Chains A and B, each alone.
Chain A
Amino acid sequence: MAGQMQKQLFLIMLCLSVLSGCVNHALTDARTLYYQGNYIAASDALTTCDDFAEKEKFLCLVEKGTVLHDAGEFRESNRFFLEAHRFIQDRDYISISQQTTASIINDYAIVYVGEYSEQLWIHSYLMMNFLQLGDYISARVEAKRALEVFERHPEALEDDYYTRGLIALCFELFGQFDSARIEYDIVEKNSGSQVSRPGTLPADSGELVLMIGTGRGPVKVPIEIVVPPTTKISIPHYRSASPFHVPRIQDADKKDILLHFSTDTFEVSDKSLSQRMAEIISRQTVRVAGKEAIADSFRNDRLAEFLVRVALFATEHADVRSWQTLPRGFHLYRLSLPAGSHQLRVSLGEFGAYRELPVTLTNGERVFKSLRL
């Protein structure tokens, strides 16, 4: 009887080890296609995200939103980012079932709702989309939602100057200069340096707002420690996937245009994950103790104990789920240009080849453009 029970337990463990840490192929395919520049195929690979398991649905929504944003499908992109926001809101509680499973198997048992930084960047993308659609009221709604996220996690997100710059811009569009000033003051305080605050537009000019994403965002990888005989500790951490470059923008006279705000997503993501580290480590500790107790209960049967230990070892994975189509850097440029047509040049970093950027604006007009380099 006891032998049968052990066999069943082992089988369950084996199934769990196979199931835990599964990677969704649609997500992997979409990310590969995206970085090959094939945005339409990447979007198709993710379909509507309805067939995604809860645990990875957030990732599908944000990856799809990013792909559509970069494909210039701002309205469609909003649909997915807004759904991602609702997804987070609906799961704003501690799930006993998920926490219990995570304490036995691994953190993949928990529905992923993004790091604090990822939750914030949903609103950054929504602001960018609404601004480009000319829906300034909705952009300001997103600015306020972004402020709520900043308020909840001030330390983790203090280095995201780009989103602060976007928020200030949304307020300025409605003449709320006091609210914009608060954002500029916060950036100055957090960065320790003075920021260039946009002035009033000259009468015969328009404003070009460039929202540029550069490089490949950071990815999560595991740090694994094996304590003999079979205890494994696996903790996620962010690793840079591409260097951080500030793009160069030149006007027709090849004069460099000043950068307004920039965010290194690696730094902000890393800080966000660190803020959650105590929670991750405490769950890991409970899991290590629990797994040791399970394995120990089989000590009368050497073979069963060995097999159970192997299964438990195999289930231990760090949760490395993350938004992988994010850029490494977000950069905001605001420049006033005389009404008419202009030919700007954009390059990625010091040695990158220049790319032409034609712009036409009228008096008092604001033109929004987003680029991914």
Chain B
Amino acid sequence: MKPTVLKNIVLSLLILPGLLGCVSTTKTLDPESEVYYDASYDFSDKKKIVDKLVSPLIHEEFIPRRTQKPILIVYPVVNETSEHISTGGITDDIRRELLRSGKYRFISEEQRNNILKEDAYQQQGYVDPAMRIAMGKQLGAEYIVSGTLRSIKKKEPKQWRLTKSQRVYYSLDLTVTDLTSGELVYADQAEIAREASQPIIGW
């Protein structure tokens, strides 16, 4: 009897650690933390590149000083990488940081269709004429903020090795264009270069 009990205990002890490894877990991550599973674009990259690009726009005087705040329109950042990256998040972050600086006024390009829809609805006679939004009173943008996200991937050439490495270089170019003159009044770039390696052989 005794050896059987012992055998069962040993078996249980052997199985337990295995089962513990199978327990699913969830944890909250600090958005500032930098943990990379591979060389591809990560959520912490967005913050890094937006901070780098927005800071000069807030602290430098690239638009001639005047009493009225300049009116900007932010166009969606164009994704030219080989990954399905939602660049809408980058566009939103740039606009939010600039808006919070209090130096600029903004026109929402994203809401244009909704504004047109709402305008049309209000003019259909359902809304009290005194409360209808006045036509032709919208602000006009003076500057366009636009950006392009690019990437270059380089893989290690085929050779005898135990791991394979990949280098990825990301760059986000941000420009501000004067709508009246067409002049490019600001241009800057944020870059990220990363290398990741993974084993060629696995279980």
Contact = CB atoms under 8 A, between A and B. Distances in A.
A96 B202 contact: yes
B199 A93 contact: yes
A191 to B, nearest CB: 25
A141 B84 contact: yes
B166 to A, nearest CB: 10
A231 interface: no
> A interface, how many residues as a size bin?
10 to 19
Interface residues of B, number: 14
B75 to A, nearest CB: 13
A30 to B, nearest CB: 27
Contacts of A97: 203
Contacts, number: 32
Q: From DSSP, what is the main secondary structure of chain A's interface residues? A: helix
Q: From DSSP, what is the main secondary structure of chain B's interface residues? A: strand
B202 A141 contact: no
Interface in B14-49: none
A95 interface: yes
A145 interface: yes
Nearest to B78: A137
B78 A148 contact: no
B79 interface: yes
Contact of A94 (B79, B153, B202): B202
A94 B200 contact: yes
A232 interface: no
B202 A148 contact: no
Contacts of B180: none
B116 interface: no
16 contacts: A82-B84, A92-B198, A93-B199, A93-B201, A93-B202, A94-B200, A94-B201, A94-B202, A95-B201, A95-B203, A96-B203, A137-B78, A137-B79, A140-B80, A141-B83, A145-B82
Given A138-B84, A141-B82, A141-B84, 9 more contacts: A82-B84, A92-B198, A94-B202, A96-B201, A137-B78, A141-B81, A144-B82, A145-B82, A148-B82
The 8 closest A-B CB pairs, nearest first, are A144-B82, A93-B202, A94-B201, A145-B82, A137-B79, A141-B84, A97-B203, A95-B202
